[in-house]
Amino acid sequence: MLALQRHTFKHGVHPPENKEQTNKLPIRQFAFSPLLIIPVIQNIGNPSKLIVREGQEVVRGQLLAEADGYLSVPLHAPETGRIRKIANVPTISGKMVPGIYLEAAPSSTQEVMEGEPVGLDATPAEILVGIQNAGIVGLGGAAFPTHAKLKIPEGKHCDTLIINGIECEPYLTTDHRVMLEQPDDIFLGIRYLLKATGAKRAIIGIEANKKDAAEFLSNYLTPDLPITIDVVPVKYPQGAEKMLITSLLGKEVPSGGLPIDVHAVVVNVATTAEIGRLLPHGRGIQERVITITGPGVKKKGNYLIPIGTPLRYVLEQVGVEEPISEVYMGGPMMGVAVSNLDISIVKGTSGIVVFTNKEVTQSEKIYPCIKCGACVDACPLSLNPSKLGILAKFEAYEKMAAEYNLMDCFECGSCSYVCPSHIPLVQYFRLSKSIVRKRKASA
């Protein structure tokens, strides 16, 4: 059933969408880089544990690193080739972490290894193990291990599985194209997810600017699957799972809580498609769909790119308009501006957006807060960003967390977007949350 919803969450913003540059462009296979740089830290939780050595030849899909505990996932070879070296590699955070330099075999067909299939007749526990063995994490950008997200805690139950096809981040069209081009994988993935979670029904949530995807997927609904497709109003950050739950179910996830507290599990649509694509073949994830766009990109598009492809190589292949001012991994609202083009595509990379000097205003002056309340009106969680920003300047981090719910902030950037004083509120909150976590861990 296809339904048009008028209900949505309170507040939020409406930044320019800028999706028309790529939303009609089909997914294309990206060129294989002669050298991949693969960090072992590509998920929230423990990094993968290397099991290969320098000089070893590997084939595409082969295990390179195994999961190190439950909150961890393995890494698989994105290309057939030889391990040139194992050494520290740069990451978007600025840290150097252990990684693999994989030199591609130029004559290889780059076929993917078959593994041990996980069928729909598997038990919920076996499906979760299959998802972990495939190295699947949240492809919307969070990179949280998907098998751990799907594990229903003792004493909890899941009534509703929500497939997140919102993709509210400006410029990005990855999920949009996946919905239009990989429907079989999506619906097979939903079957796995329903069994794994025990959910009684599934809702595919799609924003109204992607009605073509909603109508297309509605053709694949079958009587044996308890699935509805709900089209919600266009608003940022509609794709945040707490906001989507409010829009679709009319429920509010409690402060400090998780979707399962309101009997829901939310999974990104591209993640769902990967589950449907990989589990029947027992394969691991070696590539993902990424939108490469922005005013600075010549060959804009949606590309299927091997994990570990260096950003510098990506930009060389698509061509850029000089001079480049900023390159974002992810979108301009929640993505991160990179400081090093030698970092690589990782599992959580959903997009690359390039801006030139024409679009980026350099070093806008930061003015004192004028108490206008624009940030309060924009915050989807009804926090007080103005007060939090003032407390951050005075380094009152514990007060921010204890009295003003700092840790509920999911860093959507709506407050910074509307601030007339150009105060980088979301950066203040990101740093403050990091300090609170470190202090709590060392206490």
Q: Residue range 15-25: average pLDDT?
A: 96
- Per-residue model confidence (pLDDT) at position 93: 85
Q: Residue range 362-374: average pLDDT?
A: 86
Cα 28 from chain centroid (whole Å): 20
Beta bridge partners of 263: none
- Per-residue model confidence (pLDDT) at position 77: 96
Range list of H helices, 229-287: 241-249, 269-278
For residues 173 and 279, the answer to whether their CB atoms sit within 8 Å is no
- Per-residue model confidence (pLDDT) at position 348: 94
Q: Residue range 259-272: average pLDDT?
A: 97
- Per-residue model confidence (pLDDT) at position 394: 94
Residue 23 to residues 142, 183, 246, 294, Cα–Cα distance (Å): 22, 16, 27, 13
Q: DSSP label at 315?
A: H
- Per-residue model confidence (pLDDT) at position 5: 67
For residues 104 and 81, the answer to whether their CB atoms sit within 8 Å is yes
- Per-residue model confidence (pLDDT) at position 7: 78
- Per-residue model confidence (pLDDT) at position 195: 97
pLDDT, tens digit (0-9, with 9 covering 90-100), for 163-188: 999 999 999 999 999 999 999 999 99
pLDDT, tens digit (0-9, with 9 covering 90-100), for 317-330: 999 988 888 999 99
Q: Which residue has the higher pLDDT, 126 or 224?
A: 126
Average confidence score pLDDT of the chain: 94
- pTM, two decimals, is 0.94
Domain spans of the chain, in order of start: 2-24+125-281, 374-442
Beta bridge partners of 81: 58, 104
pLDDT, tens digit (0-9, with 9 covering 90-100), for 276-328: 999 999 999 999 999 999 999 999 999 999 999 999 999 999 999 888 889 99
For residues 147 and 129, the answer to whether their CB atoms sit within 8 Å is yes
Cα 60 from chain centroid (whole Å): 24
Asked if residue 190 has pLDDT above 70, the reply is yes
Angle of CA points 225, 241, 26, to nearest 5°:
70
Beta bridge partners of 164: 205, 268
Q: Which residue has the higher pLDDT, 110 or 208?
A: 208
Range list of H helices, 287-354: 311-318
- Per-residue model confidence (pLDDT) at position 168: 96
- Per-residue model confidence (pLDDT) at position 229: 96
CA nearest to 405, candidates 379, 366, 368: 379
Residue 144 to residues 70, 97, 150, 268, 341, Cα–Cα distance (Å): 12, 18, 11, 11, 24
pLDDT, tens digit (0-9, with 9 covering 90-100), for 390-428: 999 999 999 999 999 999 999 999 999 999 999 999 999
63-100 burial string, b = 16+ CB within 10 Å, else e?
bbbebbeeebbbbbbbbbbebeebeebbbbeeeeebbb
- Per-residue model confidence (pLDDT) at position 113: 80
- Per-residue model confidence (pLDDT) at position 359: 80
CA nearest to 130, candidates 279, 276, 286, 287: 279
Range list of H helices, 65-168: 124-133, 146-150
pLDDT band at 112 (very low <50, low <70, confident <90, very high): confident
Q: Residue range 56-76: average pLDDT?
A: 96
CATH architecture classification, 2-24+125-281: 3-Layer(aba) Sandwich (3.40)
Give the span between the Cα atoms of 78 and 64, in whole angstroms.
Answer: 10
pLDDT band at 362 (very low <50, low <70, confident <90, very high): low
pLDDT band at 443 (very low <50, low <70, confident <90, very high): confident
Give the span between the Cα atoms of 412 and 12, in whole angstroms.
Answer: 9
Residue with tokens 């806008």: 364
- Per-residue model confidence (pLDDT) at position 86: 97
Asked if residue 432 has pLDDT above 70, the reply is yes
DSSP string, 385-413: HHHHHHHHHTT-HHHHHHHH-GGG-----
- Per-residue model confidence (pLDDT) at position 60: 95
Give the span between the Cα atoms of 225 and 248, in whole angstroms.
Answer: 19
- For the chain, helix, strand, coil in percent to 5 are 30, 20, 50
Token pair belonging to 399: 């007060």
- Per-residue model confidence (pLDDT) at position 265: 98
- Per-residue model confidence (pLDDT) at position 108: 81
Going across the sheet that includes 2-4, the strands are: 2-4, 227-232, 201-207, 160-165, 264-268
pLDDT band at 364 (very low <50, low <70, confident <90, very high): confident
- Per-residue model confidence (pLDDT) at position 152: 95
Give the span between the Cα atoms of 196 and 368, in whole angstroms.
Answer: 51
- Per-residue model confidence (pLDDT) at position 360: 75
Range list of H helices, 72-197: 124-133, 146-150, 174-181, 183-197
Q: Residue range 236-257: average pLDDT?
A: 94
CB neighbours of 238 closer than 8 A, spacing ≥ 6? Answer: 8, 9, 12, 166, 168, 207, 232, 244, 247
Token pair belonging to 324: 């480049």
Q: Which amino acid is at 330?
A: G
Asked if residue 76 has pLDDT above 70, the reply is yes
DSSP string, 100-114: EEEEE-TT---PPPP
- Per-residue model confidence (pLDDT) at position 52: 97
